[in-house]
Structure 1
Amino acid sequence: MPMPTEERVSQLVAELVERRGFDLEGVALSAAGTAHTKLVVTVDSDGSPDLDAVAELSSEISQTLDDAGDFGETPYLLEITTPGIDRPLTALRHWQRAQGRKVKIVLRPGAESPEEKGKTTFEARVGVATESDVALVLGGKRKPHRVTVPLADIQSAVVQVEFNPPGAAELELAGGVAPGRPKPGAQEETATEDEATESDSLTEGIVE
């Protein structure tokens, strides 16, 4: 029996994800050895994901997929996960949740650069984002200043991992960190590792 498509799985789980207060960020299917298939469902929310809610969502998705019967007799490994720190920003909610974080930005060809030397690739700290534009803090700790860039001018933006905390002035210009999100800096890596370990223990398992 052929495996369901990622689009089909997304349709099956989207309502369950939304009901639990999450946004569905992606579904990925891949072979996990010769015995089973790996299914990764990526979800996100405004605050730090509640592990109990993630575990309950995992059970609900497993039951829904079993009831639908799309996998037939093929066992699958289900993993519910959250986006990594260095995920691309492709929707307004991504920008809003990345407030206070440093991102690497690539402008679209022909877009006016806010950098003094006209660079089209640069790093900035994310400020308040709206449907049309985003505030960016340039200059780092030494010369922080805020500019506004149309979202339509940005070709790509990827959050950067930081090992040192940002300067107080640049973080203030950014409007602080989005509520419920980890602060950039030295403690971020440890917090992320802890969260990933707990998430794995709750959400992975072979469903047969």
Structure 2
Amino acid sequence: MEVLQKIEEMLQPIIEGTDIFIVRLKIKPTNNVKVYLDADDGFPVSKSSSVNRQLRKAIDESGMFPDGDYSLEVSSPGIDEPLLLHRQYMKNVGRKLEVTGKDDTVELGMLREVSDTHITMEVPAGPKKKEVKTIEIPFESIKQAIVQISF
């Protein structure tokens, strides 16, 4: 069984019954294990450190890395990372998104709804961009979608 699959299996009971979900797992040749998690109600440092402690204990007890020859990082994907999962889109309804289509078109607007097959956004329309129009973008045509933070 692959190392990442084993780590995911160790992670499941830790996050079961919580709002935390797995976004992505990575491992570098130097045994640097990176676990990217998110949560429906946000993923503060307290959640990250709790999962890190529990997962580190499970990895150590498994003997997967003899002599403790690994490093473990548990974090959220980061605000500039593209959305990968349907659940991430759901969490970001009401936020501004930049969506790049597979045809390299770019739409910038407010994420209003998420269905099983597409997202619905309000984007600027008209000559002065003061009006908005509603567009639907099928998931299958999205190359990447990144939340835009306003300051």
1:43 lines up with 2:37 in the alignment? yes
Q: Which blocks of at least 5 consecutive residues in structure 1 are unaligned?
A: 110-118, 162-183, 187-208
Q: Find the counterpart in structure 1 of residue 105 from structure 2.
A: 120
Which of the pair has the greater relative contact order for Cα pairs under 8 Å at 6+ separation?
Answer: 1
Cα 1:153–1:27, aligned 2, differ >3 Å: closer, same or farther? closer
Task: Tell me the residue number matched to 1:28.
Answer: 26
Give the TM-score normalised by the residue count of structure 2. Answer: 0.80
Per the TM alignment, residue 108 of structure 1 is displaced from its structure 2 partner at its CA by 4.4
Report the residue type matching 1:69 in the other structure. Answer: G
Aligned residue number for residue 14 of structure 1: 12
Give the length in aligned residue pairs: 148
Shift of 1:45: 0.6
Pick the aligned partner of 1:70 from 64, 70, 77: 64
Q: For residues 144-190 of structure 1, give each alpha carbon's deviation from its aligned partner in whole angstroms, at most 9, with x where no partner exists.
A: 424241424523232154xxxxxxxxxxxxxxxxxxxxxx311xxxx
Contact 1:101 1:159 survives alignment (8 Å): no
Is the Cα–Cα contact under 8 Å of residues 25 and 36 in structure 2 kept in the other structure?
yes
Q: Sequence identity of aligned pairs in percent?
A: 16
Shift of 1:23: 0.2
C-alpha deviation, 1:139, in angstroms: 0.8
Aligned to 2:115: 130
| Aligned-partner SS, 1:139 | strand
Asked if the contact 1:18–1:24 (Cα under 8 Å) also holds between the matched residues in 2, the reply is no
CA distance in 1, matches of 2:131, 2:5: 43
Q: Normalization by structure 1: what TM-score?
A: 0.61
Is contact 1:98–1:159 with CA below 8 Å preserved after alignment?
no
Corresponding residue of 1:114: none
Residue 145 of structure 2 corresponds to 158
CA contact (8 A) 2:100 2:145 kept: no
Give the whole-Å Cα distance in 2 for the aligned partners of 1:123 and 1:87.
16
Contact kept, 8 Å, 1:126 with 1:136, in 2: the verdict is yes
Unaligned stretches of 5+ residues in structure 2: none
2:34, 2:73 within 8 Å by CA — same for their partners in 1? yes
Q: Of Structure 1 and Structure 2, which has the larger fraction of its residues in strand?
A: 2
Relative to structure 1, the CA distance from residue 97 to residue 77 in structure 2 (aligned partners, 3 Å threshold; closer, same or farther) is same
Cα distance in structure 2, aligned partners of 1:149 and 1:135: 4
Name 1:92's counterpart in structure 2: 86
- Deviations along 1:115-144, one digit per CA (max 9) or x if unpaired, are xxxx83332321121213321111179324
Q: Residues 27-76 of structure 1, C-alpha deviation per residue, up to 9 Å, x if partnerless? A: 111145xxxx3211111011222433322211110111111111122422
Deviation of residue 104 (structure 1)?
Answer: 2.7
